[in-house]
């Protein structure tokens, strides 16, 4: 329903009732043949929205306020909910979150891959629905002269000065509070402003292990423009304070000159402690536990115990007998490759990031696994240069999915089985549509690594069609 005629325009404010959710978590309603996508909301809520885009058959809008709650809505745990962009679904029961995530997977495969009537298994839940993240990226900001530190305000680049957060650990918030206190009491330190491109402090990244009691803090800044490197020296003092009072085991200072707002430094210096953290994955299916080291810029899944469920499920679906030659494309620090190695003849891992491959090789040594080899470089080039033929291929690409050339090269080698792990059901479905020329989907298993959000990991097994 609406308080205005359906001939609305960009900039208009409407009152509507949300009908359903679209893949990715956007809310949706229909108005006289026009679909309106909203940036957030729950089915059953009556909301006020502002139209930001209008096309022939659909419009996009941002939610301004909730007028009435959904019937099954719950009270969010965090006081920042609705303002902070870190969570989308804290006002939805976890069981309902899993139902919607399963529907997202089903809708993507049906709509994009044309895969009808597939049996989608119920999502494997995260062992923890709060305090589950092992890594958080916080940004610095400025509010009337005070330096803030937290997450981005929903839909903007402004920073919410976090006083509470339930995604990582309570220890993380203690570190955040100490950093905030220190930077505000140190005159030489200023927050970077992406609009003026001035300021020093850019990002704070906190990584914690769940089972080995390690903590890495990384400060990402601009270059020091003060006399006598006052800013850099203050950062070293902060590292010492964190080590003494917060049991931080590694402190890293990274420099970023590029203006894009990404928590990554072009130059990285280990100020205190070791260059990496080591975590232990314990599996529920009888597989031997796995120790994985990761550097500051190495990719590691953010939910440790759910990752063990993800990798264990992927290995189970592969049904390795011990004789197979296995490829692990986009292997990261080697988690899937090393999990597969005890039940494979040989394993070959490929990853574009040299630091990740260094960690993968280190992890092979840590776990005394010898039947693996890792190559750093573009996956497409690595495939073109690899002469062997795999029996089983694991792929876990970035959110954008696989490059078409990579899909073609995999199909040229005709492995008997492909285990496709993805954090985006839509791009996964796109690749499945191409692979279906030679392969049949035989299993679909979502695994939830991201409670309180609309994101879902999904594993698809494909078997070569005879």
- Determine the Cα–Cα distance for residues 137 and 168; give it in Å rounded to an integer: 11
396 is known to lie in a ligand binding site: yes
Structure tokens at 5: 């005629």
Contact 332, 433 (CB under 8 A): no
3-class SS of residue 461: strand
301 is known to lie in a ligand binding site: yes
User: Backbone phi, then psi, for 348, in 5-degree steps?
Assistant: -125, 120
For the chain, how are helix, strand and coil distributed in percent, rounded to 5?
25, 30, 45
Structure tokens at 295: 């550097």
Q: Report the C-alpha dihedral over residues 223, 229, 233, 238, rounded to 10 degrees.
A: -40
Instruction: State the Cα angle at 244 between 239 and 245, rounded to 5°.
Output: 100
Residue 81 DSSP symbol: B
- Determine the Cα–Cα distance for residues 68 and 47; give it in Å rounded to an integer: 7
Report the residue count for the chain.
466
218 is known to lie in a ligand binding site: no
- Determine the Cα–Cα distance for residues 64 and 48; give it in Å rounded to an integer: 5
**Annotated catalytic residue, options 78, 165, 222, 423:** 423
Report in angstroms the alpha-carbon separations of 404 from 10, 138, 218, 391, 409.
36, 34, 36, 21, 9
User: Backbone phi, then psi, for 305, in 5-degree steps?
Assistant: -70, -35
Q: Taking Cα atoms as reference points, which of 194, 199, 244 lies closest to residue 222?
A: 199
Instruction: List the beta strands (DSSP E) in 3-126.
Output: 13-17, 20-21, 27-31, 34-38, 46-54, 58-68
Q: How many CB atoms lie within 10 A of CB 167?
A: 23
351 is known to lie in a ligand binding site: yes
Report in angstroms the alpha-carbon separations of 31 from 212, 278, 411.
54, 53, 44
* 331 among known catalytic residues: no
Q: Taking Cα atoms as reference points, which of 451, 442, 447 lies closest to residue 459?
A: 447
- Determine the Cα–Cα distance for residues 370 and 138; give it in Å rounded to an integer: 38
Which residues form the catalytic set?
423
């Amino acid at each position: 329903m609406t308080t205005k005629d359906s001939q609305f325009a960009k900039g208009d404010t409407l009152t509507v009732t949300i009908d359903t959710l679209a893949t990715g978590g956007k809310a949706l309603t229909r108005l006289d043949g026009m679909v309106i996508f909203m940036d957030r909301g729950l089915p059953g809520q009556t909301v006020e929205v502002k139209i930001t885009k209008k096309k022939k058959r659909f419009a996009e809008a941002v939610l301004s306020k909730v007028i009435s709650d959904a019937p099954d809505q719950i009270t969010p745990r965090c006081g920042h909910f609705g303002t902070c962009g870190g969570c989308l679904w804290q006002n939805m029961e976890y069981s309902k979150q899993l139902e919607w995530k399963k529907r997202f997977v089903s809708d993507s495969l049906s709509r994009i891959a044309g895969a009808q009537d597939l049996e989608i298994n119920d999502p494997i839940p995260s062992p923890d629905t709060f305090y589950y993240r092992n890594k958080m990226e916080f940004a610095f900001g400025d509010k009337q002269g005070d330096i803030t530190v937290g997450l981005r305000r929903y839909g903007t680049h402004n920073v919410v000065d976090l006083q509470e957060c339930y995604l990582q650990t309570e220890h993380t918030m203690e570190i955040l509070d100490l950093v905030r206190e220190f930077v505000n009491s140190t005159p030489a330190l200023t927050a970077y402003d992406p609009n003026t491109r001035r300021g020093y402090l850019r990002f704070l990244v906190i990584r914690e292990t769940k089972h080995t009691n390690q903590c890495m803090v990384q400060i990402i800044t601009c270059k020091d423009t003060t006399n006598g490197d006052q800013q850099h020296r203050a950062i070293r003092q902060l590292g010492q304070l964190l080590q003494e009072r917060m049991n931080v085991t590694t402190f890293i200072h990274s420099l970023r000159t590029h203006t894009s707002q990404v928590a990554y430094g072009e130059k990285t210096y280990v100020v205190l402690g070791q260059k990496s953290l080591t975590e232990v994955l314990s599996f529920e299916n009888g597989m031997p536990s796995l120790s994985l080291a990761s550097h500051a810029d190495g990719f590691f899944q953010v939910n440790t115990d759910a990752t063990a469920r993800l990798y264990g499920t992927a290995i189970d679906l592969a049904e390795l007998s011990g004789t197979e030659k296995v490829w692990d494309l986009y292997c990261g620090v080697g988690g899937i490759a090393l999990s597969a190695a005890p039940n494979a003849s040989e394993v070959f891992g490929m990853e574009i990031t040299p630091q990740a491959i260094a960690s993968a090789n280190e992890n092979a040594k840590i776990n005394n696994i010898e039947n693996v080899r890792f190559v750093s470089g573009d996956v497409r080039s690595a495939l073109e240069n690899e002469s062997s033929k795999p029996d089983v291929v694991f792929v876990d690409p970035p959110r954008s999915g696989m490059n078409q050339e990579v899909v073609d090269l995999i199909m040229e080698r005709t492995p008997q089985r492909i285990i496709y792990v993805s954090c985006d059901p839509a791009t996964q479905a796109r690749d499945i549509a191409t692979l279906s020329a030679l392969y049949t989907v035989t299993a679909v298993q979502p695994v939830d690594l991201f409670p309180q959000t609309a994101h879902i990991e999904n594993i698809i097994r494909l078997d070569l069609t005879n």
